[in-house]
Structure 1
Amino acid sequence: MSAVTDAVRVAPPGNPITQSIRDSLVVAKRNLIRMSRIPEMVIFGLIQPIMFVVLFTYVFGGSMNIGGTTDPDVYTEFLMAGIFAQTVTFATAGAGAGIADDMHKGLIDRFRSLPMARGAVLTGRTLADLVQTALTLAVLALVALLVGWRTHTGIGEVLGAFGLLLLLGYAFTWVGALIGLSVRTPEAATSGGLIWLFPVTFISNAFVDSSRMTPWLQHVADWNPFSATVQACRELFGNPGVSPSDAWPMQHPVWASLIYSILIIVIFRTLAVRKYRSAAG
């Protein structure tokens, strides 16, 4: 910790934007080093999505009707975009718990005493979480290939899909940051981060065709930001998607995913930084 604080303290003053970027990278490096020294954080983060892949593929795969067929292989390709999106969004709970833990231990107070950009503490934390999410996503993709998932488009489209997933994960991490700053303990942050994630991920097109839901629930699912990213990834992967819908996000899922994610980042980053400043004031 002393190396990190010394690095920030001796940093020469300069352009505010440059200083903010530099400070954010220092904090991100600190969190990545901490993660590397606690490998169980990464390991446990991998177990849950792998379990979802195996359970949904082999337990529910033969009973799901996708595009008029119950072929398990078709459902596997339909499923994986939803599992990928669920994985990046569930990282929100860990981000919130980490920030709450830093607050609880007084680490935020130490950063507050340093001549650094106020938003850098949160930005650095979210960037470190993004790196961990990318690692988890890469391992999960290998597991998906083992259970039969395949893409049917070019490398550019596939990379674009993973880019949308990481952007959504980064956006939701700012929601977790706000929750972490708003509660008193890491346990409360974990609980608060999961309560709203379950309806967001399950009232969507991630695991079932939303056209089979009741009309009002289908409307909610089709306009869910989570659903937009899932549908965009299916298009970019060349995997089976949901039945045609008149909802704009389902007609233009790539654009909808980008717009939703950017709006979430702008709104919740603003709220989180404001909350951090008031807590540090």
Structure 2
Amino acid sequence: MIPVTANAANAANAPFDQWMQHIQQSVEQTLDALLPPADTVPTVLHAAMRYAALGGGKRVRPLLVYAAGDLSDAPHGLLERAAAAVEMIHVYSLVHDDMPCMDDDALRRGKPTVHVQYDEATALLVGDALQAQAFAVLAVPDAELASDGAARQLAMLGLLTHAAGSGGMCGGQAIDLASVGVNLSLAQLEQMHQLKTGALLRASVLLGAWSGARPDAADIAALEIYARAIGLAFQVIDDVLDATADSATLGKTAGKDAADNKPTYVSLLGLEASVALAHRLRDEAHAALEQFGARARRLREIADLIVQRKA
């Protein structure tokens, strides 16, 4: 089992909102430091990368990295880089997802999408560059790690690579694009979203766990169950919000899934049943964390946040 530590116990004492705000600010500062300066050639590309990555977002994936890192007293430097890397992958996916060849959206995080603010070619390059930067950041050697540090970082790179590729996020997006106007079964819809959304959330949890003391098989199994549950819950609530909230609240175009004739949990199950499913998944996530006791408080609170969010 992952050992109990004084640092993990102390972190659990802060109110969740305060802890979340601290992590969000820390991630913003880390991204600001790790992204190329806007005045460095090629200036337009670097300015656009910073436009996409800074100044917005809930930072759910970095929150998961830090929360799972609390279980094992992970060194702060590696958690910083793991959180920044997974957020760079997430932002790159949003930039590409918003392009005319994908979902063709003009609003993201309350401001014009990158291809609207700049142009399509720049948006394509922003996504490519953010993906490369993520792996460069995660590959930096960390002196705080034990003798198996290099092997552990290699495993972490493998986790993020798989989550971002055709067996994860990109594969899910491909299925999503091929499913417009198609009546998917519940199992097919879950498979699509486990890849498109769930894979990177899973990687975030496991990256945090692997940043500290090596987790054993029982720990990994529990975190896998947790990650699967919150990954699906996140998408269910996304579908609910797309059907019920407005664009100003969401920071992106509302009602777009229905307009584009995309299969969603709401279109398949209905609104009330979708909300009930999200709550059942939240309960599954909580149950999976029982073996960690109070140390998993942050992970439980993030599961609650995912289901209770309004944007």
Into which bin does the TM-score normalised by the smaller protein fall? 0.3 to 0.5
What's the TM-score once normalised by structure 1's chain length?
A: 0.33
What's the TM-score once normalised by structure 2's chain length?
A: 0.31
Rg: which structure is higher? 1
